[in-house]
């Protein structure tokens, strides 16, 4: 449904009751977001970067709590060889309903769950008896290899 | 001292100044070129000429890269009517007038082509910076520019065909385009992360110059054909920096070659008037027939009136002695277009 505009980019349009919205992915990488309210002559236009556009997209699709999982690696300049990975995961059906203790996460993989984002609240340093529910976002900390083991053993990936 | 050493910094300054003012640099490139040519700062040496001809092949190679035969096939039907209106109202009056003024058929054809063809660089930038892309007329303008590219290929073929041998070479050239386009020739080399993709991307348009000289074909035609052949490899981002540099040099150098005669002045005015009126009428008719809106027609006029790179290239390749006339029309229309779009 995109309209090819050679030399400019690709345009996507939606006509709504209130007016017209157009998104143009320019060839330079920038994104133009147009909103033309019905009855208006001139559109409002905002230029977005790639990251901003993706953020807007996830808000609009209502998927803010299902955002992509992401990980960061932290290294401290004063402590050589210490690299810590922090990673977020969304709790899937396979492990939902169990507590951290029941899953034996620390014992089997070495990683620690440092926070859980539930629908209505965030829990920092959850106790072992905290029950995981489907859709929770957990923040996991550990070494790179431990994180990989966590993905394999607990999440079954 | 080599001309290029003067031309490059001057072109850079001109570009910075124009972009700061949100204006196309093309007219200023030509003006500073004229200034440096008239004052004798630049005498026109071989290096300048060579770098300028690289500007032509790199631009046309880049245009070719952007022509995606697949999207072209699906969209050309929708734009053909608008494209033909644009051609009829802009080529024909100029051609008739030039004949009446005493130009021979060939010169008339070349100059009328240069007057007909709008500047993609100036007009597309106006659409993006002016934030007009939401309007349906913007799509029409973008595809008109593509249609004009296709007409340009036809014009270049005709101008190449003056020698019967060259004409016969066009058919194998087109076949070669098709074969390379369908095959995955060199695609592995374009994907490497060393210097190979850049070197290769530089080599192909440069080869166009060599091939064109040996085969007596127009280098512009060879370059645009090669561009289409390699349009599936995503090398436009590598090509762009080369195109930007050499094209700037080309415009300035073109300016240095212009010897402006006072006697040309009235012809420039007359042809510029025809050039502006032509795009006004074609824009109006296209707006009326395709968008059912004369207001859109006026917008199409404002966003197609500017002539630029293609007019200069046609004049530089085929009608250098009339460079002053074409430069005059380009200067006038490429300044008029941006000004008109800023007036509501």
* pLDDT per residue as tens digits for the range B62-93: 999 988 888 888 888 889 999 999 999 999 99
Domain boundaries, chain A: 3-66, 71-153
Question: pLDDT value at position A86?
Answer: 87
Q: Per residue in B213-226, pLDDT tens? A: 888 888 899 999 99
B324: which 2 tokens?
């002053």
Which residues on chain A are in Cβ contact (under 8 Å) with B145? 6-7
CB atoms within 10 A of CB A94: 11
pLDDT in tens, A93-148: 888 888 988 888 888 899 999 999 888 888 999 999 999 988 888 999 998 889 88
pLDDT for A62: 63
Two structure tokens written together for B217: 């074909």
| Sign (positive or negative) of CA dihedral B97, B154, B104, B263 | positive
Predicted pLDDT at A54: 80
Average pLDDT, chain B: 91
**What token pair was written down for A119?**
């629908």
* Chain B, nearest residue to A31 by Cα: B128
> For residue B74, what pLDDT is reported?
86
| pLDDT value for B43 | 78
pLDDT of residue A65: 45
Residues of A in contact with B67 (CB under 8 A): 6
Q: Determine the pLDDT at residue B217.
A: 84
Q: Flag if B134 and A5 touch (Cβ within 8 Å).
A: no
Q: Give A-chain residues touching B75 at CB under 8 angstroms.
A: 4
Residue B159 has a pLDDT of: 87
pLDDT tens digit sequence for B248-277: 999 999 999 887 778 888 999 999 999 999
DSSP codes of every residue in chain A: -PEEETTTEEEEEEEETTEEEEEEEETTS-EEEEEEETT-SS-EEEEE-HHHHHHHHHHHTT-GGGPPP-EEEEE-TTSTT-EEEEEEEE--GGGTT-BHHHHTHHHHH--EEEEEE-SS-EEES--TTPBP-TT-EEEEEE-HHHHHHHHHHTS--
Contacts of B228 in chain A (CB under 8 A): none
Partner-chain contact B67 A24, CB within 8 Å:
no
Say whether B68 and A26 touch across the interface (CB within 8 A).
Answer: no
Q: Answer yes or no: is pLDDT of B132 > 60.
A: yes
* Cβ B219 vs Cβ B210: under 8 Å: no
Q: Looking at the partner chain, which of A7, A20, A43 has a beta carbon nearest the beta carbon of B142?
A: A7
Backbone angles phi, psi at B51, to 5 degrees: -65, -35
Query: Is A5 in contact with B120 (Cβ distance < 8 A)?
Result: no
Tokens of B143: 């595809």
Does the structure's ipTM exceed the value 0.90? no
HSE, side-chain direction, 13 A CA sphere, residue B233: 29
CA nearest neighbour of B250 among B80, B13, B30, B32: B30
pLDDT, residue B146, reads: 94
Is it the case that residue B115 has pLDDT exceeding 70?
Answer: yes
Residue B177's pLDDT is 86
The boundaries of the domain holding residue B248 are 3-342
Residue in A closest to B134 by C-alpha: A22
Which residues on B lie below 8 Å from A27 (Cβ)? 236
For residue B63, the SS3 value is: helix
Q: What is the DSSP letter of B67?
A: -
Q: What is the pLDDT of residue B181?
A: 86
Q: Which of B124, B131, B139 sits opposite A7 (nearest CB)?
A: B124
Q: A-side interface with B, Cβ within 8 Å?
A: 3-8, 11, 13, 20, 22, 24, 26-27, 32, 34, 36, 43, 45
The answer to whether the CB atoms of B128 and A11 lie below 8 A apart is: no
Domains contained in chain B, number: 1
Chain-chain contact of A4 with B71 (C-beta, under 8 angstroms): yes
Q: What is the pLDDT of residue A19?
A: 93
Per-residue model confidence (pLDDT) at position A66? 45
Residues B228-252 pLDDT 10s: 999 888 888 899 999 999 999 999 9
CB contact under 8 A, B66 and A6: yes
Query: Quick one: pLDDT at residue B81?
Result: 93
Is residue A152 very low, low, confident or very high in pLDDT (cuts 50, 70, 90)?
A: confident
Q: Residue B333's domain is classified under what CATH number?
A: 1.20.1530.20
The CATH label, of 3.20.20.70, 3.60.15.10, 3.40.50.2000, 3.30.70.1450, for the domain at A71-153 is 3.30.70.1450
Among A132-141, B175-184, B267-276, B281-290, where is mean pLDDT lowest? B175-184
Please say if the pLDDT value at position B106 is more than 50: yes
Contact state of B128 with A45 under an 8 Å Cβ cutoff: no
The verdict on a CB contact (< 8 Å) between B133 and A22 is yes
pLDDT per residue as tens digits for the range A56-103: 887 787 654 444 577 777 777 677 777 788 888 888 888 888 898 888
């Amino acid at each position: 449904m995109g309209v090819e505009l050679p030399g400019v980019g690709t345009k996507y349009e939606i006509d709504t009751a209130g007016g017209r919205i157009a998104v143009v992915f320019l060839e330079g990488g920038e994104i133009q977001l147009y909103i033309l309210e019905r009855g208006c002559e001139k559109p409002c236009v905002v230029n977005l970067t790639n990251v901003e556009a993706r953020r807007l997209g996830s808000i609009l699709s209502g998927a803010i709590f299902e955002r992509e999982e992401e990980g960061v690696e932290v290294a401290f300049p004063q402590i050589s060889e210490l690299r810590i990975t922090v990673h977020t995961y969304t709790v899937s059906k396979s492990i939902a309903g169990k507590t951290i203790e029941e899953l034996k996460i620390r014992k089997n993989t070495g990683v620690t769950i440092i926070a859980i984002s539930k629908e209505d609240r965030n829990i920092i340093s959850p106790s072992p008896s905290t029950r995981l529910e489907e859709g929770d976002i957990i923040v996991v900390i550990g070494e790179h290899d431990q994180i990989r083991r966590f993905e394999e053993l607990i999440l079954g990936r | 001292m080599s001309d290029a050493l003067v031309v490059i910094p001057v072109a850079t300054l001109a570009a910075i100044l124009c972009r700061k003012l949100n204006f196309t640099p093309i007219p200023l490139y030509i003006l500073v070129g004229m200034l440096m040519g008239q004052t004798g700062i630049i005498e026109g040496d071989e290096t300048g000429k060579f770098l300028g001809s690289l500007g032509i092949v790199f631009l046309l190679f880049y245009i070719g890269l952007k022509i995606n035969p697949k999207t072209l096939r699906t969209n050309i039907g929708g734009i053909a009517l608008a494209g033909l209106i644009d051609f009829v109202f802009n080529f024909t009056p100029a051609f008739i007038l030039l004949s009446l003024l005493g130009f021979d058929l060939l010169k008339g054809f070349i100059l009328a082509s240069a007057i007909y063809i709008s500047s993609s660089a100036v007009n597309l930038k106006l659409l993006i910076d002016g934030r007009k892309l939401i309007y349906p007329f913007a799509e029409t303008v973008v595809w008109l520019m593509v249609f004009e590219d296709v007409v340009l290929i036809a014009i270049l073929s005709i101008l190449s065909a003056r020698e019967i041998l060259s004409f016969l070479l066009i058919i194998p050239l087109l076949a070669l385009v098709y074969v390379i386009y369908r095959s995955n020739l060199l695609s592995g080399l374009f994907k490497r992360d060393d210097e190979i993709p850049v070197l290769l991307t530089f080599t192909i348009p440069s080869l166009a110059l060599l091939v064109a000289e040996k085969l007596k074909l127009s280098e512009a035609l060879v370059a645009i054909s090669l561009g289409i052949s390699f349009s599936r490899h995503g090398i436009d981002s590598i090509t762009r920096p080369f195109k930007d540099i050499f094209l700037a040099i080309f415009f300035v150098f073109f300016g240095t070659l212009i010897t402006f005669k006072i006697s040309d002045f009235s012809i420039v005015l007359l042809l510029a008037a025809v050039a502006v009126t032509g795009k006004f009428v074609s824009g109006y008719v296209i707006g009326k027939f395709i968008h059912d809106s004369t207001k859109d027609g006026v917008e199409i006029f404002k966003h197609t009136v500017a002539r630029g790179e293609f007019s200069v290239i046609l004049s530089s390749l085929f009608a250098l002695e009339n460079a002053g006339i074409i430069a005059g029309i380009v200067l006038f229309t490429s300044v008029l277009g941006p000004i008109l779009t800023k007036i509501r």
